[in-house]
């Protein structure tokens, strides 16, 4: 099998290497990829949409139909992870561990204990017991800054590198960091599973809703210049504002989906203990 | 021979993306471990993305963010030259492709975790023998 | 573009890719794969694709490595090849 694989790979590679001879020269401004539609984007995007970052302009305005379905694919991936892994039955376990915080003594129970809700006791994971004061404190200090930066990345995506996808992934990563540095139950008690599902749905609906709003105002689907009828700006700025709206939708959906995928993989769908 | 060497030097980026693609394809075909196959899949994806970014590069051009777009002394719309900025279209396509690739990677890992829960192994041949034993 | 830096990073990328698919420890593969993604991100930043590089730095080197480590934690570290 290995030898056949190697032969197939080398044959494919040889064909591709032969094909590179017909490629345009490296960095050629007149290559076919840079001549048809992209000069129009570069020369007219600022005039038509008031957005200097061309990538955002093309992503969220000229090709926003494409981006909407990309968001839907990500939402579908989150749903797929949930359906594949989530299990609601309790697992067979060897016991429960509870720590008495003032003394640091760990108590082992054979059966499920009834822990009073107090600040003196905390439940520990059976497989992985991270309790590091330094890590927890540093992450507690860092988390708000990470989240603020991710919001900045979403909001400033029109002017600098960034946008809904990057900002959403970073916000999702901050939730993941919370789950790693404390434990999975702490993170899930802050942002629960239902809230995450609702947020993922809300992001996609926000994107589609802006498109439908444009239709209701008399334009085509996702034609943001129609938003000028209800906003006190002219048509070009309305397109920039519509872009920010859909970027926020993308950001919310991506945030929620990243957290859902992480939580399901890290706990194998049980949501009680994990990395 | 000299001509060939010249061609390699002129297009070494294209050559290297093909090498990466071959590494990825080899891992997908002939590795036994499911997670190794996923790594191969990701390497394959990044090789394609590298190719797309390579064709968007232009000599003597800057990043696709228009300079002096707003504020005092801003650039007039007629003064923007298409040759002065990189081609933004492949960047857009690849940006979404990267995020979709992490979503599919997550689903693939979820399937791998599920398979491990069922058969207690990630090796392809062992999974096959377990399935055969179950049928008998 | 400085072709020396470019060539150096391209070589490192290929070394990382080969190491990631050949190492026997899956946790090591996860770390090498993260390094591979980050080198790829540097390469794209050199080519002027700043948005793509930003996405790869947060997605490829960040979140997908975490997913990978979480999956290894739930399954096994050992691999036969």
C19 near B CB under 8 A: no
DSSP-derived secondary structure letter, B63: -
Q: Which residue of B has its CA nearest to C45?
A: B63
**Cβ pair B64:C48 closer than 8 A:** yes
pLDDT: which is higher, C28 or A24: C28
Best of A15, A32, A55, A250 to disrupt the B interface (most B CBs within 10 Å) is A55
- DSSP result, chain A: -HHHHHHHHHHHHHHHHHHGGGSPPTT-TTSGGGTSSHHHHHHHHHHHH--SBHHHHIIIIITHHHHHHHHHHHHHHHHHHHHHH---SPPP-S-EEEEETTTTEEEEESS-----SSTTEEEE-SS-----HHHHHHHHHHHHHHHHHHHHHHHTTTTSS--HHHHHHHHHHHHHHHHHHS-HHHHHHHS-HHHHHHHHHHHHHHHHHHHHHHHHTTS-TT-GGGGGGTSSS-HHHHHHHHHHHHHHHHHHHHHHHHHHHHHHHHTTT--SS--
Segment C32-73, tens digit of pLDDT: 999 999 999 999 998 889 999 999 999 988 899 999 999 998
Region A193-215: mean pLDDT is 93
Which value does ipTM take for this structure? 0.92
pLDDT at res. C79? 86
Q: Which residue of C has its CA nearest to A59?
A: C51
Count Cβ–Cβ pairs < 8 Å, chain B vs chain C.
124
Which of A53, A165, A180 minimises the CB distance to C55?
A165
Which of B16, B39, B109 minimises the CB distance to C21?
B39
Q: Is the pLDDT of residue A130 over 70?
A: no
Rounded Cα distance, A123 and A112, in Å: 11
Residue ranges covered by each domain of chain C: 3-74
Best of C18, C57, C58, C64 to disrupt the A interface (most A CBs within 10 Å) is C58
Residue ranges covered by each domain of chain B: 2-59+84-135
Which of B13, B22, B109 minimises the CB distance to A9?
B22
pLDDT at res. B15? 85
C80 near B CB under 8 A: yes
Judging contacts by C-beta atoms under 8 Å, the chain B residues touching residue C6 are: 13
**Cβ pair A173:C66 closer than 8 A:** yes
Residue ranges covered by each domain of chain A: 53-88+132-266
Best of B14, B22, B32, B35 to disrupt the C interface (most C CBs within 10 Å) is B35
**Cβ pair A67:B55 closer than 8 A:** no
- Cβ within 8 Å of B, A 168-227: 169
Q: Which residue of B has its CA nearest to A81?
A: B107
Segment B105-129, tens digit of pLDDT: 999 999 999 999 889 899 989 999 9
Which of C59, C69, C74 minimises the CB distance to A268?
C74
A185-189, B18-22, C34-38: the lowest-pLDDT one: A185-189
Segment B49-76, tens digit of pLDDT: 999 998 888 888 888 888 887 777 788 8
CATH class of B2-59+84-135: mainly alpha
């Amino acid at each position: 099998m290995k030898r056949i694989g190697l032969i197939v790979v080398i044959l494919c590679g040889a064909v591709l290497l032969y094909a590179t001879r017909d490629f345009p020269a490296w960095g050629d401004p007149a290559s076919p990829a840079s001549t048809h539609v992209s000069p129009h984007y570069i020369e007219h995007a600022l005039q038509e949409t008031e957005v200097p970052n061309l990538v955002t302009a093309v992503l969220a305005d000229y090709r926003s139909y494409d981006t909407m379905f990309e968001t839907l694919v990500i939402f579908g991936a989150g749903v797929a992870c949930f359906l594949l892994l989530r299990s609601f039955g309790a697992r067979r376990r060897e016991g429960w561990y509870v720590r008495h915080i003032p003394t640091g003594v760990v108590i082992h129970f054979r059966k499920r204990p009834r822990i009073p809700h107090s600040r003196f006791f905390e439940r520990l994971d059976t497989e992985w017991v991270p309790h590091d004061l330094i890590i927890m404190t540093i992450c507690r200090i860092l988390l708000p800054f990470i989240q603020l930066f991710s919001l900045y990345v979403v909001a400033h995506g029109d002017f600098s590198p960034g946008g809904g996808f990057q900002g959403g992934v970073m916000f999702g990563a901050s939730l993941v960091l919370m789950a790693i540095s404390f434990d999975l139950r702490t993170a899930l008690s802050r942002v629960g599973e239902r809230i995450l599902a609702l947020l993922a749905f809300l992001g996609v609906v926000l994107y589609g809703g802006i498109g439908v709003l444009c239709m209701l105002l008399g334009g085509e689907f996702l034609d943001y210049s129609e938003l000028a009828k209800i906003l006190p700006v002219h048509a070009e700025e309305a397109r920039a504002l519509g872009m920010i709206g859909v970027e926020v939708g993308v950001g919310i959906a991506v945030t929620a989906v990243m957290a859902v995928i992480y939580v399901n993989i890290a706990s194998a769908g049980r949501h009680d203990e994990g990395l | 021979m000299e001509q060939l060497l010249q061609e390699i030097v002129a297009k070494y980026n294209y050559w290297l993306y093909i090498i990466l693609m071959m590494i990825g394809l080899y891992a997908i075909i002939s590795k036994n471990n499911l997670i190794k196959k996923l790594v191969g899949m990701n390497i394959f994806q990044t090789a394609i993305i590298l190719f797309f970014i390579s064709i968007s590069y232009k000599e003597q051009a800057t990043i696709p963010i228009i300079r002096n777009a707003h504020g005092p002394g801003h650039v007039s719309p007629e003064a923007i030259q298409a040759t002065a900025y990189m081609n933004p279209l492949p960047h857009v396509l690849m940006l979404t492709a990267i995020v979709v690739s992490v979503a599919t990677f997550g689903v693939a890992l979820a399937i791998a975790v599920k398979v491990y829960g069922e058969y207690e192994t990630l090796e392809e041949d062992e999974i096959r023998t377990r399935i055969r034993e179950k049928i008998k | 573009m400085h072709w020396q830096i470019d060539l150096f990073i391209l070589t490192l990328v290929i070394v990382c890719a080969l190491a990631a698919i050949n190492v026997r420890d899956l946790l090591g593969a996860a770390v090498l794969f993260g390094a591979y993604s980050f080198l790829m991100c540097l390469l794209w930043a050199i080519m002027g694709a700043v948005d793509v590089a930003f996405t790869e730095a947060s997605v490829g080197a960040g979140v997908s490595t975490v997913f990978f480590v979480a999956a290894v934690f739930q399954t096994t570290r050992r691999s036969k090849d």
